[in-house]
């Protein structure tokens, strides 16, 4: 079956990460099922579809399977943006704890819309690949920066940048031609598309795990014999576990090293930039999301206060604003 991905090489899925000799989820499923279940991975651009439509295309059967990223589908399913609340986390471990807490809800919403979650994946730190020199918060003001989600755009706006939504495959050309001043993605994602050729500074990180999951069309899944379903789920769980184990040990540091080796300069966030990021998350990201999910009484907002707030130390107030709890 065809699995559509957001244009990033799902390395652990197909066994191409240098950090591991593992053959990957796709090949392991193929071998264990004796070729009865075969995933063929292609990117959204190659298939001529938009990530925004990924879950709808699973539901109507156009796609057998796809990588679901909240930044793409959050417009139709804003509750899913709870999986990537950019700017709220002090550490990536905080977000891992949050992902564990909300993962069942993400699977439930996916199932309600025709998809069965079989695995999840995460990418490490997101950085701004910037063309102009950025040394501090003042240098971010007015920069046109490619964003990949509504939540991230809210964060960037609050920090003074001008967020732009450009298809992932078009970012290289936009940077090269000066249409944008920078673009945000995980370090290895930008490296994979050679953004280091058209940008000079690796600024950040925004401490946040890029969280997405693999989903299969429910009809295709239900037609699969239980023994094959069990193999897919076992390999999906293994995939997620291995991804998580390598996240901090290899992915995060390697993402920096790979880009620096190509001539980029790493620019860590200053304390002022970190403070501005959290302030923007509280003042822009959370209230904007609360409005999109239907206000403080909505199921999503209630789940946030019950599950996410104790981890990020930020709560949703009755008027839809947010505030730090400590």
Q: What is the pLDDT of residues 23-51, one digit of tens each?
A: 788 889 999 999 999 998 887 777 888 78
Q: pLDDT tens, 149-190?
A: 999 999 999 999 999 999 888 999 999 999 999 999 988 889
Whole-number pLDDT of residue 4: 62
Q: What does CATH list as the number for 126-207+263-324? A: 3.40.190.10
Is 80 exceeded by the pLDDT of residue 224?
yes
Query: pLDDT tens-digit profile of 226-252?
Result: 999 999 999 999 988 888 888 877 777
Q: Rounded CA gap, 119 and 113, in Å?
A: 17
CA distances 47 to 115, 219, 284, Å, are: 19, 21, 34
Residues of the chain with CATH 3.40.190.10: 126-207+263-324
Q: What is the dihedral of CA 267, 246, 168, 257, to 10 degrees?
A: 30
Centroid of chain to Cα 219: 26
pLDDT over 50 at 8, yes or no: no
Residue 152 structure tokens: 């991230």
Query: Token pair of 177, please?
Result: 């031609």
Sequence-distant (6+) residues with CB within 8 A of 76 are 52, 55, 56
pLDDT bracket for residue 15 (50, 70, 90): very low
Stronger pLDDT, 21 or 277, i.e. the higher one: 277
Burial class (CB in 10 A: 0-12, 13-18, 19+), 13: buried
- The confidence score (pLDDT) of residue 217 equals 97
CB 295 within 8 A of CB 319: no
Q: At 9, is the pLDDT very low, low, confident or very high (cuts 50, 70, 90)? A: very low
Query: Six-digit token pair at 285?
Result: 């990201």
CA distance 21 to 314: 40
CA-CA distance, 102 to 308, in Å (whole number)?
8
- Record the tokens describing residue 287, joined without a space: 């209230």
pLDDT, tens digit, 9 for 90 and up, residues 91-122: 878 888 998 899 899 999 999 999 999 998 88
Q: Which residues of 292-301 are buried (b: 16+ CB within 10 A; e: fewer)?
A: bbeebebebb
* Residue-level pLDDT at 3: 61
Mean pLDDT for all residues in the chain = 90
Half-sphere exposure for 314 (CA within 13 Å, toward CB): 25
| pLDDT confidence bin for 22, thresholds 50/70/90 | low
- Can you tell me the mean pLDDT for 193-218? 92
Residue 281 contacts residue 87 (beta carbons within 8 Å): yes
Domain boundaries for CATH 3.40.190.170 within the chain: 2-123+210-259
Residue 7 has pLDDT above 70, yes or no: no
Q: Note the maximum CA span of the chain.
A: 58
Does 270 or 71 have the greater pLDDT score? 270
Sorting pLDDT into bands at 50, 70 and 90, what band is 209?
A: confident
- What torsion, rounded to 10 degrees, do the Cα atoms 186, 45, 70, 233 define? -90
Task: Locate 158 and state its tokens.
Answer: 């609050």
Q: Which pLDDT value is given to residue 210?
A: 79
For residue 75, what pLDDT is reported? Answer: 85
- When comparing pLDDT for 283 and 1, which is higher? 283
CATH for 2-123+210-259 is 3.40.190.170
The answer to whether the pTM exceeds 0.95 is no
In degrees to the nearest 10, what's the CA dihedral of 101, 102, 105, 111? Answer: -110
């Amino acid at each position: 079956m065809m699995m559509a991905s957001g244009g990033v090489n799902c390395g652990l899925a197909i066994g191409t990460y240098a950090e591991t000799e593992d053959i990957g989820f796709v090949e392991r499923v193929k071998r264990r099922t004796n070729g009865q279940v075969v995933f063929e991975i292609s990117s959204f651009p190659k298939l001529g579809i938009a990530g925004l439509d990924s879950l709808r295309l699973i539901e109507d059967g156009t796609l057998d399977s796809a990588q679901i990223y909240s930044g793409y589908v959050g417009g139709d399913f804003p509750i899913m943006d709870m999986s990537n609340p950019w700017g709220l986390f002090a550490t990536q471990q905080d977000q891992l704890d949050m992902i564990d807490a909300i993962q069942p809800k993400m699977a439930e919403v996916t199932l309600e819309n025709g998809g069965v979650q079989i695995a999840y994946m995460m990418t490490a730190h997101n950085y701004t690949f910037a063309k102009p020199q950025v040394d501090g918060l003042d240098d971010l003001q007015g920069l046109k920066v490619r964003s990949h989600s509504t939540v991230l755009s809210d964060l960037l706006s609050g920090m003074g940048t001008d967020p732009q939504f450009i298809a992932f495959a078009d970012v290289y050309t936009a940077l090269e031609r000066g249409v944008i001043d920078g673009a945000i993605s995980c370090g290895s994602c930008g490296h994979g598309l050679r953004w280091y050729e058209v940008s000079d500074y690796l600024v950040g990180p925004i401490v946040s795990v890029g969280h997405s999951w693999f989903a299969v069309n429910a009809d295709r899944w239900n037609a699969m014999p239980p023994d094959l379903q069990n193999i897919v789920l076992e390999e999906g769980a293994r995939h997620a576990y291995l991804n998580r184990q390598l996240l901090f040990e290899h992915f995060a540091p390697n993402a920096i090293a790979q880009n620096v080796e190509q001539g980029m300069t790493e620019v860590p966030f200053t304390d002022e930039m970190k403070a501005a990021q959290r302030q923007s998350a509280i003042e822009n990201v959370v209230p904007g999301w609360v409005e999109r999910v239907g206000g403080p009484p909505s199921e999503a907002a209630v789940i946030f206060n019950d599950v996410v707030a104790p981890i990020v130390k930020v709560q949703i107030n009755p008027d839809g604003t947010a505030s730090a709890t400590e």
